[in-house]
A and B are shown apart, each in its own frame.
Chain A
Amino acid sequence: MLNVKNIPISAWIGLIITAIFLFAAIFAPWVAPYPVGETVGDVWEPMSAKYWLGTDNLGRDLLSRMIYGARITIFIAAMATALSFILGSVLGFAAAVIGGWLDQFMSRFVDLIMAIPTLIFALVVLSVLPSNVVTLILVMGLLDATRVYRLARAVAVDINVMDFVEAAKLRGEGRIWIIFREILPNALTPLIAELGLRFIFAVLFLSALSFLGLGVQPPDSDWGGMVKENKEGIVFGIPAALIPAAAIAVLAISVNLVADWILNRTTSLKGGRG
């Protein structure tokens, strides 16, 4: 099984930083020194022992908002990724196994969606629909599902022609068994690596939407929204906008390091216990 000694140093860095972010996100109400929406000091106070990261454009404690922001950002990104994976991989596998016109129809439909730039598509949809967390997750999840569909279908098409799948078909197994018991376990490794990358894209996507004002709505705020709130300060040399931006970057890099490691461990069909 997994040997702790064999994990490379880069993966360790990724794992530890990701774990810190997750811890902050999950235990936000207990970790944060101040309530999220309360004005506690002056506008844009510098870093001090009292306010570790200073205060924001309304005088709220930036560290507390960062921690709550982590919660919102990671929650929405994780839910959107989960949705896109469940939808994308099930449809992708089904398209590969069933084939024929169903495959053609779904693949061409996905091509159609992918031809429209995601951000513009999302902006149009979100400006029409009520902006709340559920809509955000749905829109992001559905748009990302097209990418997952492509990968899942490509991997499954390769596995679908293997003799063991033919053996299962000759045995008379149904499609559900073939998809979930024969193909899924063998497609899992590339999909898990892709999961990490798609999660990062979801974080970046959400941040971009919030920065443009169509993502998470005040008084709640994710990291992208916090960059937006504090961006005026940059002109005056105040780093409040850079801190959430840096958090986005660090999260992206650390999850990427973990995904890289998983992808490197095995991408082939060697199987066994790996």
Chain B
Amino acid sequence: MKSWLAIVLLIGGVRCDGFSDQVFKTLYIGEGNACYRTFNKTHEFGCQATKENENGLIVRIDKQEDFENLESCWRALYPAFNGKFWALLPVNLIGRNTISLLKSSECLAGVILYNSPQPQHPEEEITSASHDADCPNAASDYYFQNKKEEYCERKINSGGSITRDGLMRTDWRIQMVFIDKSDDLSVIERCHSLFNIPKENGTTGYPYCGMSFRLANMAAGNSEICNRRGKSEAKLFQANFDSGEVPQICGAMHSDNIFAFPTPIPSSRSNETMNSSKYMMITSRMDSFGMIPEISVGEVSVLTSIISVIAAARSMGTQLEKWQKASNESNKNVFFAFFNGESLDYIGSGAAAYQMGKDIFPQRKIRPDIVRIHPIHANEIDYVLEVQQIGVSKGRKYYVHVDGERYDKNKTSTNKLMDRIERGLRSHGFDLEKLTDSGTRVPPASWHSFAKADPTVQSLLIAPFKEEYEYRRINSILDKNQWTNDEKEKAIQEIEAVATSILAASADYVGLETDDVVAKVDKALIATLFDCLIVSNFWFDCDFMKKLDGDRYHKLFNSYGFNEKSTYISMETHTAFPTVLHWLTIFALGSDKETLNVKSETSCSHLGEFQAMYTYTWQPSPYTGNFSCLKSSIGKKVMVSPAVDPYTPEEEMNTRYSTWMESVYVIESVNLYLMEDTSFEYTMLIIAVLSALLSMFAVGRCSESTFIVDEGEPAAEGGEPL
């Protein structure tokens, strides 16, 4: 009994990692490079590590035909192996015809995704590469919520979607990890080629190259469960007695929305509401997603549209006095809104619409010593002018989408604005088709959030598609293109044309002479931004952005979104893009005319104290790199969907707003190792039994007298043997 106890203690107590450097080749995987769990109110999606899908033999799927091996579980190649497999797979092979195989395979531990070495071009016809759904989301679309149509009655992405409900909304049994570093990828490929490629006679044998990876999520179920369990009172017994902190198991997706007001909003020192202004909101979404959310750059889903809006804002910023004068006279204003989380049921615009309903937009808290900005309400917004998917039009044609019913009620002014948009586009050689039938529905856009809040808000959505998306990689890992000079030039022309049309419509709205502004979009700026935001590998790689940065950006977080190009919203705001866009907006609309005498950051920040409307930012010029104090009325506001915001308990899990949440997860490194034949374990078991029997036999033949020998020494006999 004692000896058994000793063995158990020995095995249980001795766990060392002393040899790990001789066993494992470790590849570090940062936050955001792997598939993890996300939730909406009713479901969980994404991936979770289990005991069954951690370890596996590495196999390659390089072409469509290789999926036949997946069906047969590679038994012909590895007959002696009966475990699971990690499939090394380029992202462009995830398609409609392969996804079901990946989902249903019983022998797959996971997939190791990497960017295909073959470049993708924006106009390349790739069948179904979008990770978005076929139809507008029933949980958030204005028409579904008002019972005006059935789910999927109207398809918008049927040509592009890989699965009907979208890959983002898939609950996977397997794990997924994305390898973005070429060095890491070559290590995996080398490991595979050394040990797992069949020999000339077609056979393979031990040892094999295996891989282990583990991403463990803290939460499960759905947002409702997660939200409930995440409350402090539910985690009383999990609290750390020293720090008082409770572990977080999931979190609401939240990030920054950016609002820029070129023309001042009416303000007063009293709390009385003045309903005297009208607004046109020029918007563009800031986010996209993919199956592994962070690794979607969203070039066409997000960036081209944003460049067009920034270009329009910059033109406006150079002639602010004209715009302000026109706004004051007409009592109509335009403002820019970049919403985050729009691809996940309109988190940003939903939160903004909620705040408008509560009189806290754009100013949340009122201090008595600060002038109160007149709150903007949804019914004061005449138009939501949004641009989407710029740069990939078929031919030279654009469409403007309006809501048919609302259009019918106010045709005159809307027609006038659409004419201006058309004129702006035509000035650059593009056509515009106006989709104004009474049954016309607005595709997924930020307008839906405001449409739900007020019945008069109208939509003007400028996009290169009619009923369904033409671009088949919206919200996808593959929305990352190799642009030829011709493609780039055409995209820049489209961005310029759309920026011009935005300016034209805005000018007409506020009553400014259109001719004064139409021709003033800075094409060179558009080309620069295209290079910096789309062609460059990271936001701050190009000279323009480096100067704009001025060493202010620090890679504080070890996450994909903070260190690589990503437009995913995420839950911890560990993404760089809101900061990038905020600085670009300040560059576009900020002015140092009134602050030329300010020579330090401290003085600049002092100017912003007690200001309601204006902010003062110490920021360098992207052209010269010289810092100056820029006055602007731009706000970067953290927005959380009211349905999951602990500060709005009355709206908890209200499906009028987004209910998306993310699980907190622990991500481990990828470990490559050699797998040996396990059959030798049984040989060792026999050896162990023989060793034990032989030891008992041999030692059993000895006794105390074997070792206690009377050598005739008196001292030894007396008890002092040495």
Do these two chains interact?
no
Q: Identify the B interface with A (CB < 8 A).
A: none
Question: Which A residues fall within an 8 A CB radius of B?
Answer: none
